[in-house]
Structure 1
Amino acid sequence: MFRLSSKSRFKKVIRWLHLWLGLASGLVFFIMGITGAIYSFQPELSRLTQPYLSVKAEQRPYLPVSQLQVIAAKELPGKQPSRIIYYAKDQAVTVHFIRRGKASYYWAVFLNPYTGEVLKTRDMDTEFFRFILRGHMYLWLPPSIGKPVVATCTVIFTLIVVSGLILWWPRNRNARKSSYTVKFRASPKRLNYDLHRILGFYASWVLVFILATGLAWSFETVMKAEYWLFSGGRGRPAPPKFISRNEGSEAAGTVIDKILYTARQGYPGIEHYQVRLPDSDSAAVQVILYLKEGRYAPADNLYFNQYTGERFVAKNWGLYAAANAGEKANRMTYDIHTGGIGGLAGRTLVFFTGLIAASLPVTGFCIWLGKRRKRRQQKEYYKKKQV
């Protein structure tokens, strides 16, 4: 008897926690779910709606990276290019101009890599998918406000998902039979209940991974703990920093061409890579080569002296093959969060999970509202009966 009573009290506490956490964060949960679902197909939708991202593939080499850099810089006088990203042979090269902090900006120049033709110059802060991403990451608030709000809500979402799984757990074998399928022919009230409970159950197994990676992004301690766990107790090292010294040997334009040529020598067939330009007189040039198309974790990071083209040797956050399990787990955060780790199938799964996640606050609110109305009706009934 005591055991049953304990279980009943435990479920009551979990139900209360699930309800009020859901009501408090439901709007944020909806925004995060719908924006995440939309962004999961960003590469395909961008190419479909933005024709300047595509070019005709040609059987000739690209223009030197230094030349593309100069062409892009002329489009935005007074702004410094930050990185140059290459995609497939039938896609435009993108030169990004990014400045953070005060007087921040984010512009991009899209170029034909074969001819240097400027296809589009765009303020990326006005681009649709940047708008969606800002909603997902900051709720369209200033980052200093939005980021901690989203981080806090991610913790709350984790508690909601775990408590939801506990509440879903069937009481007995007979109840288990009706816990996996939605009764679409049932009454609207029962259908809404099934959509919340059963779709929530299926989505939870994907949401667990999405939320875990979201927590890693939100809290440095979670990222460090992940590294410690998978590396066998090692501390998470900081990204490498190399000092470039000016020896006055070559012109800057020649060096950047030499760097990219050297970086690509050991990677025949690689089409997706980027050059991160130095943001100071002493910083290094970083070249990132993506080893598997559509995924960002398997990548080699190469570092070079911006003045001489000499390659620096990185002890960590360098070659993917040399990374330990902790570093690889950290690198996989983005691919797991977006579903990219599973290719198109993985991103499709994240898309439907995001839609379900966005629906849960709505169906949950309807359940709460229905119970509230029922309690009011019962109170009114007993009042009339007493009179």
Structure 2
Amino acid sequence: MRIKKLVGKLHLWLGLSSGLLVLFLGITGCILAFQQEIENASQSYRYLAKDHKALLTPSQIKTIAEAELPGKHAHSVKYQDGRNAVVTFYNSQPDYYYLVYVNPYSGNVLKVKDMSRDFFRVVIMGHYYLWLPPEIGQPIVATGTLIFVILLISGLILWWPKNAAARKKRFTLKLNAQWKRVNYDLHNVLGFYMTWVAIFIAITGLVMGFQWFSKSVYWISSGGKAMVQYYPALSDSTITKIDFKEKAEDVLWLKMQDDWKHQGGSFEVHFPENEKESIELAFNPDTETYWKTDYRFFDQKTLKEIEVTHLYGKFSKASTADKIMRMNYDIHVGAVWGLPGKILVFLASLLAASMPVTGFLIWRGRRKKSKATTGAKLLQTRKAKLKKSSSVVN
């Protein structure tokens, strides 16, 4: 009982100190749960009627897109069956960028989108950084997420029933009771059910928020191996560039286009920004998730493939630990389990957002009750003293 009392105090003060942040992360998490579905339904310029014409090459689409944004250089072009090509431009702040949608058959520009004004992108920046500089906002969000994990564990300890009689009350809501009881059940009963989904959301959030946590997860899942940090695959600067009839990225794209078209999914070509960088090709067979993406790097001078040992290389060579780390974002948003997973994440985020509210109401109710009880005791003491003093006078 003494341990449970200490856990209760820890749960209370951590909850009060982090409540607003947990509420904010829960609400923004709800908004982002169905981002992909909402964008697909509301942005018709993404879609493309099938055509039997030849697709424009990456360099051709790049030239068309760059004409729309003078002075900016395209980072990549993405092809997807049934979709218009998307050219991505990054500026000085990688979190804010431009997207140019181009018809890959005709070259018509359909949409130029400033992502710094995009609704979901603004919400994401709040969810990740609280709209602060990343070096300030990310540690705050990560620390709040760590506190939330402690709250989940301590809440489960406090929820644990003392006996069989109490166990029945821990699994069901008593909606016909007074509002204080209903609020208590909303916090405890729904909190219990929410915990089993929210713990995955929180842990995957910690993987993105703390390097030490990410490395620890990889070390455990790999059986004691250290995670290789991402490093750029560089072209050989000592080799003289070979002249090709087409541009290097077009040659590679043509070479791998048949495989991509045969399997479906999406195919990206990343352009090198200088003579040292390699050309990156990324093929994702499942456009609903990211973790299966096959990343391949090629020397821009010789077109020889460059092998990498970090997480983001060939999917066929990824270890179990690599795949777990790749899967982290898809677990965080529920996409790894498809639409049912996203629904679970949405509900868990909604309930997580409600926990600080219901918890605060429980605390305020108990505080008022405690003050009322203390006041009643003081009044009784004063009455007793007055009665005693009056009897002495008589």
TM-score normalised by L of structure 2 = 0.91
Residue 34, structure 1, aligned to residue 6, structure 2: no
Residue 329, structure 1, aligned to residue 315, structure 2: no
Residue 209, structure 1, aligned to residue 200, structure 2: yes
SS at match of 1:302: strand
Aligned mates of 1:273, 1:163 — CA distance in 2: 45
Q: Is the 8 A contact 1:94 1:111 kept in 2?
A: yes
Unaligned runs of 5+ in 2: 383-394
The alpha-carbon deviation at position 385 of structure 1 amounts to 2.3
Aligned mates of 1:67, 1:148 — CA distance in 2: 42
Q: Is the 8 A contact 1:97 1:105 kept in 2?
A: no
Residue 94, structure 1, aligned to residue 90, structure 2: no
Aligned-partner residue type, residue 147 of structure 1: Q
Residue 370, structure 1, aligned to residue 365, structure 2: yes
Provide the residue aligned with 1:301 in structure 2: 295
Alpha carbons of 1:311 and 1:263: their partners in 2 closer, same or farther (altered >3 Å)? Answer: farther
Provide the residue aligned with 1:187 in structure 2: 178
Matches within 5 A, 1:280-359: 280-316=274-310, 317-359=312-354
SS at match of 2:213: helix
Q: Is the 8 A contact 1:192 1:367 kept in 2?
A: yes
Matches within 5 A, 1:50-89: 50-87=43-80, 89=81
Provide the residue aligned with 1:274 in structure 2: 268
Q: Is the 8 A contact 2:170 2:189 kept in 1?
A: yes
Aligned mates of 1:61, 1:373 — CA distance in 2: 74
Aligned-partner residue type, residue 64 of structure 1: T
Alpha carbons of 1:106 and 1:293: their partners in 2 closer, same or farther (altered >3 Å)? Answer: closer
Provide the residue aligned with 1:111 in structure 2: 102
The answer to which of 176-185 and 60-69 deviates more is: 60-69
Alpha carbons of 1:37 and 1:249: their partners in 2 closer, same or farther (altered >3 Å)? Answer: same
Q: Is the 8 A contact 2:265 2:285 kept in 1?
A: no
- Out of 358, 361, 364, which is 2:356 matched to? 361
The alpha-carbon deviation at position 20 of structure 1 amounts to 0.9
SS at match of 1:178: helix
Aligned-partner residue type, residue 95 of structure 1: V
SS at match of 1:321: helix
Moved over 4 A (4+): none
Q: Is the 8 A contact 2:131 2:137 kept in 1?
A: yes
Alpha carbons of 1:253 and 1:27: their partners in 2 closer, same or farther (altered >3 Å)? Answer: farther
Aligned mates of 1:51, 1:98 — CA distance in 2: 24
- Out of 173, 178, 190, which is 2:169 matched to? 178
The answer to which of 228-237 and 252-261 deviates more is: 252-261
Aligned mates of 1:186, 1:231 — CA distance in 2: 50
Partner deviation per Cα, 1:75-131 (whole Å, 9 max, x = no partner): 1111111122233x2322221111345x98511111222222111112101100001
Partner deviation per Cα, 1:303-342 (whole Å, 9 max, x = no partner): 1122343322334432212111111111111111111110
Provide the residue aligned with 2:11 in structure 1: 18
The alpha-carbon deviation at position 62 of structure 1 amounts to 2.4
Matches within 5 A, 1:140-159: 140-159=131-150
Q: Is the 8 A contact 1:66 1:257 kept in 2?
A: yes
TM-score normalised by L of structure 1 = 0.92
Q: Is the 8 A contact 2:25 2:127 kept in 1?
A: yes
Partner deviation per Cα, 1:221-264 (whole Å, 9 max, x = no partner): 22222222222222212335332246343369621111222234
Q: Is the 8 A contact 1:66 1:253 kept in 2?
A: no
Aligned-partner residue type, residue 322 of structure 2: E
Alpha carbons of 1:192 and 1:341: their partners in 2 closer, same or farther (altered >3 Å)? Answer: same
Alpha carbons of 1:365 and 1:329: their partners in 2 closer, same or farther (altered >3 Å)? Answer: same
Alpha carbons of 1:335 and 1:105: their partners in 2 closer, same or farther (altered >3 Å)? Answer: closer
Aligned mates of 1:168, 1:327 — CA distance in 2: 36
The alpha-carbon deviation at position 286 of structure 1 amounts to 1.1
Q: Is the 8 A contact 1:226 1:329 kept in 2?
A: no
Alpha carbons of 1:61 and 1:170: their partners in 2 closer, same or farther (altered >3 Å)? Answer: farther
Unaligned runs of 5+ in 1: 1-7
Aligned mates of 2:288, 2:161 — CA distance in 1: 39
The answer to which of 310-319 and 349-358 deviates more is: 310-319
SS at match of 2:74: coil
The alpha-carbon deviation at position 287 of structure 1 amounts to 1.2
Aligned mates of 1:116, 1:368 — CA distance in 2: 62
The alpha-carbon deviation at position 212 of structure 1 amounts to 1.1
Report sequence identity in percent: 39
Aligned mates of 2:189, 2:55 — CA distance in 1: 53
Q: Is the 8 A contact 2:265 2:286 kept in 1?
A: no
- Out of 256, 259, 264, which is 1:263 matched to? 256
Residue 380, structure 1, aligned to residue 375, structure 2: yes
Aligned mates of 1:343, 1:105 — CA distance in 2: 28
Provide the residue aligned with 1:249 in structure 2: 242
Q: Is the 8 A contact 1:286 1:303 kept in 2?
A: yes
Aligned-partner residue type, residue 180 of structure 2: K
SS at match of 2:316: coil
